[in-house]
Each structure stands twice: as structure tokens, then as C-alpha cells.
């Protein structure tokens, strides 16, 4: 099943995507054409959002670093997220803003001290993120600061959450970013330094993960700077195609 969070008749609701991907069905039995949906990021209020730095070896090499010895985790605020087909602002003083396509794992039940072998059973679903980085604001590559990864509306998310059972192996998914139709980033989740199961084991080893918590799992190589007016598409096989527009600001 694929579920989306949308704005409908003055309220935020969850809806299920039809088999033909033409309409979204609401809990009350009504339908909303996909083409008319007002998309919201599929984030559960109160969830903790984790993100990984340098979790693909080829991206680490691209930036001139060795792959990390342990997960480099930082947190993201809720206002960083926006829905499918939304517009992300490009700051006037930023010439080095680039998209990062990422697989997102969503926790489905409380997890505490979970072993790697059982970790994927705690995942309820997956979605796609475009986690923009703004290099001018970077303090250092190992600890992204607030201005790099927590600016309002600079992490498109969605369009929907796909049930984990429908995705299968999260470590064999092709992912790609296109800017104005040109491929600027291509890779596979098999390239993660720390796979989804290892990340859940690591995080749950010192804190309790709750239903709705999300883990943005990092991005492969392919740094491409965007400009106002660009269309950015992040796509992960079997999970979704996330569209975003870059909005120049003065």
C-alpha cells in the first residue's frame, strides 16, 4: 500500500493511492485525483527525524573524505520538510545549493536495543527525500550545521509512504536525481556504508525509536548546484518519484 498525507477541505488527512495511481482514496470513501492533490510531507507530528552524513563511500570520496567509521547522525526540524511538487527557496547568498536523493526508512513500532538481524521488522515503510545541502553554510563536512540542513522548506519529502513489504530489500534500490531532465546523480542503496538495519541497531542501542520516526539514510555521489526556476526530480525504484521546484529569493 502507498499512503499520502494531503490537505483536503481545510484539514490534513491521510489517503491511500489507487492501484492505477490515478486517485487518492480518503478514509470516508471519497476520492481526490492525484493531479489535484495538495501534497504534504508524510511526517507524523512529534516524530524524531534522523539524517546521515557521508553514508555512501562514493560521496565521501567525492568530497575528499574517507568513509566514516561509525554513523554520522544529525537531527532535522519539522519545518525543513515540504510536500511533493512544493517550492524550495534558494537563499540569495547561496551559489552552492545542491539536491541529495535519499531513501527514508519509517519506524513502525517501538525499538530499543534491536539487533541487526531483526531490525528491518521494525520498519513500516519507506519514502523519498530530497535533502538540499547549502555548501556556503557548512562548518565542516562531518558535522553539518543548522543552516545547512535545517532551513525552512529545503527538504522535500514524499510523495507517499510505501509499505515495507512492498519494497522488499531496501539495499538494492536504484536512485536518481534529475535537474531539468538531466541526470545529475545516480546510484544504488547497496552503496550505503551503514545499511538500514545497521542504522536501526545503532540508534536503538542508546535511545528508543518510536512509530513514525524517520531515518534519512544519506546520498550517493553527484554534486550539482541548482538555480531559481530549476525542476528537481528525485526517484527511487519501487518507492516513488518526488518533484520539487527551486525558488530564487532576492
Does 141 score more than 60 pLDDT? no
Q: Which three cell numbers stand for residue 54?
A: 557521508
Same domain assignment for residues 10 and 49: no
DSSP 162: E
Q: Which residue has the higher pLDDT, 77 or 65?
A: 77
Does 51 score more than 70 pLDDT? yes
CB 242 within 8 A of CB 158: yes
Same domain assignment for residues 51 and 19: no
HSE (side-chain half, CA atoms, 13 Å) at 157: 30
**Parent domain of 1:** 1-40
Same domain assignment for residues 69 and 34: no
Question: pTM for this one?
Answer: 0.94
Question: What does the pLDDT average to over 43-47?
Answer: 90
Chain segment 208-218, per-residue pLDDT in tens = 999 999 999 99
Residue 242, classed as helix, strand or coil, is: strand
Phi-psi label, residue 217: left if phi above 0, alpha if psi -120 to 50, beta otherwise: alpha
Does 180 score more than 60 pLDDT? yes
Question: What does the pLDDT average to over 187-200?
Answer: 97
CB 155 within 8 A of CB 77: no
* Residues above pLDDT 70, as percent of the chain: 96
What is the chain's mean pLDDT, rounded? 93
What pLDDT is stored for residue 57 in this prediction?
A: 83
Q: Which three cell numbers stand for residue 1?
A: 500500500
DSSP codes of every residue in 90-132: E-TT-S-EE--EEEEEEE-S-BSS--HHHHGGGEEEEEEEE--
What pLDDT is stored for residue 65 in this prediction?
A: 77
**Candidate ranges 19-23, 119-123, 223-227; pick with highest mean pLDDT:** 119-123
Same domain assignment for residues 19 and 48: no
What pLDDT is stored for residue 82 in this prediction?
A: 96
Q: Distances from the Cα of 161 to the Cαs of 19, 24, 68, 140, in angstroms?
A: 14, 13, 29, 32
Same domain assignment for residues 30 and 48: no
CA gap 89, 152 in Å, rounded: 8
CATH number of the domain residue 217 falls in: 3.90.850.10
Question: What does the pLDDT average to over 109-117?
Answer: 98
Question: What does the pLDDT average to over 5-11?
Answer: 93
Same domain assignment for residues 6 and 108: no
What pLDDT is stored for residue 144 in this prediction?
A: 55
Question: What does the pLDDT average to over 45-68?
Answer: 86
Same domain assignment for residues 187 and 231: yes
Number of domains in the chain: 2
Same domain assignment for residues 89 and 117: yes
CB 193 within 8 A of CB 67: yes
Same domain assignment for residues 35 and 104: no
Strands 11-17 and 23-26: antiparallel
Same domain assignment for residues 4 and 124: no
Same domain assignment for residues 184 and 110: yes
Same domain assignment for residues 94 and 188: yes
The confidence band for 39, taking pLDDT boundaries of 50, 70 and 90, is very high
Residue 225, classed as helix, strand or coil, is: coil
Please name which of 141, 143, 42, 51 lies closest in space to residue 84, comparing C-alpha atoms.
42
Q: Tell me the residue ranges of DSSP E strands in the chain.
A: 2-8, 11-17, 23-26, 31-33, 38-40, 49-53, 72-75, 81-82, 86-90, 97-98, 101-107, 123-130, 133-134, 155-163, 174-179, 182-188, 214-216, 231-236, 240-248
CATH number of the domain residue 35 falls in: 2.30.30.370
What pLDDT is stored for residue 60 in this prediction?
A: 74
Amino acid at each position: 500500500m502507498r499512503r499520502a498525507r494531503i490537505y483536503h477541505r481545510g484539514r490534513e488527512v491521510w489517503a491511500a493511492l489507487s492501484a492505477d495511481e490515478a486517485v487518492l482514496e480518503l478514509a470516508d470513501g471519497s476520492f481526490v485525483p492525484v493531479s489535484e492533490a495538495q501534497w504534504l510531507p508524510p511526517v507524523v507530528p512529534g516524530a524524531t527525524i534522523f539524517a546521515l552524513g557521508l553514508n555512501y563511500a562514493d560521496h565521501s570520496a567525492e568530497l575528499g573524505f574517507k568513509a566514516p567509521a561509525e554513523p554520522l547522525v544529525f537531527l532535522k526540524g519539522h519545518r525543513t520538510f515540504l510536500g511533493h511538487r512544493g517550492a524550495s527557496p534558494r537563499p540569495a547568498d547561496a551559489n552552492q545549493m545542491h539536491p541529495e536523493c535519499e531513501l527514508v526508512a519509517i519506524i513502525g513500532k517501538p525499538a530499543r536495543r534491536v539487533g541487526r538481524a531483526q531490525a528491518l521488522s521494525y520498519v513500516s515503510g519507506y519514502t523519498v527525500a530530497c535533502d538540499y545541502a547549502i555548501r556556503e553554510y557548512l562548518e565542516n563536512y562531518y558535522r553539518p550545521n543548522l543552516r545547512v540542513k535545517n532551513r525552512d522548506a529545503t527538504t522535500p519529502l514524499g510523495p507517499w509512504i510505501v509499505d515495507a513489504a512492498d519494497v522488499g530489500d531496501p539495499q538494492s534500490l536504484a536512485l536518481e536525481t534529475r535537474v531539468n531532465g538531466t541526470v545529475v546523480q545516480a546510484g544504488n542503496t547497496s552503496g550505503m556504508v551503514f545499511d538500514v538495519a545497521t542504522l536501526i541497531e545503532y540508534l536503538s542501542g542508546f535511545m528508543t525509536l518510536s512509530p513514525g520516526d524517520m531515518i534519512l539514510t544519506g546520498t550517493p555521489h553527484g554534486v550539482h548546484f541548482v538555480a531559481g526556476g530549476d525542476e528537481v526530480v528525485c526517484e527511487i525504484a519501487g518507492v516513488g518519484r518526488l518533484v520539487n521546484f527551486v525558488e530564487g529569493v532576492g
